[in-house]
Amino acid sequence: MSSKKTKIYNDDKLEKEKKRIFEQAKQLNNAVLGFDGSEPTAQPLNSSGVFNATTYEPQIKYNFAPSEKVFNNGNAYITLGKDRPSGKASGLGGQGATGANAIDIVVGRLSSAPNPDGTIADNSFSADAARIYISQLTNIDFNFGIDPGKSGNMEARSGIGIKADGVRVIGREGVKIVTGRSNNATGFGAKGEANSLGGKVSQPAPLIELIAGNNTESREVAGGLFNTPEKYDTLQGVAMGQNTVEALRDLSEIVDKLTSSLFNFVNLQTQFNAALGPAVALPKPADGAAVGALATVNTVRMLTQVWSPYYEARLSKFLWEVNHLQPFGYRYIESRNVKAT
């Protein structure tokens, strides 16, 4: 018969034993578990990370707000909350706005900071590695620091921002960037599809702006000896392919007409000069009559073969400028709706 005594626990002893086991487990796993066993605070240093094994990562704790529900694994977060581009007081959520719900998908909090380990961090649209931000009500341009461009900053509207070191949009059978209202929206009455607040979409074709370098300030070119300095807009409408082709084709025809007029002038003048010598050599008064006849014939030919085509070309050039170089022209070569730097 064994002499080992069986332990008998009452409620107090059971609670003490549970605490002892828990404390022991924390000490044995303190490289993995946090103070309450809820989330990692450090990672094992002896893991190679091969086959997606755990590796050491700087530990960033998100300074979450009471209205937020946070899902995270390491330094990858999905936050369901309100519009919040930085601290708890930021954004429309920080102002107490209703209808400003947001989904923030972010990886690598404070990845560009020199020593982020152990930091309690707010959102940082500049220092975080990559983010997809979706908000029901936000100042999307201001939050991401985007140049106002031609259309200005959008304020208090729904918005989606995507930011990373590299962003790629891939469509195996096409990519479309579209502004404006849907063609088949129903139930909105004569005004058509509304914006996210139920208001009217005022512009039928809102701008698409491609701003390389996030800067649209005008630039100035120094003038030369006889030229004044020139100031030009860096954000310009892109050239429209078919209109530009038609403009160049029409211009080519105008140049052909001018060239033809010049050729006719040179040809007629050469013929006149060749006939003038023999006419002058005739005895008087036949020489004067011959020269007069040559001049009359040459004048008629100049009017029909030089001046008429020349003025036709000038008129064509005027119409060319109206049609292709003026914003109201039916084949204006610059896009009114797509701007680029």
Quick: pLDDT tens for 107-142: 999 999 988 888 999 999 999 999 999 999 999 999
pLDDT surpasses 80 at 24: no
pLDDT for the residue numbered 56: 80
Q: Nearest to residue 133, comparing CAs of 84, 65, 63?
A: 84
Query: What is the Cα–Cα distance from 148 to 151, expressed in whole angstroms?
Result: 7
Kindly state the average pLDDT of the residues 79-108: 97
pLDDT for the residue numbered 10: 61
Query: What is the Cα–Cα distance from 128 to 58, expressed in whole angstroms?
Result: 13
Count Cβ neighbours within 10 Å for each residue of 7-32 and write b for 16 or more, e otherwise.
eeeeeeeeeeeeeeeeeeeeeeeeee
Phi, psi (degrees; rounded to nearest 5) at 308: -65, -50
Residue range 265-278, pLDDT digits in tens? 999 889 888 888 88
Residues in CB range of 147: below 8 A, 6 or more apart: 211, 214, 215, 216
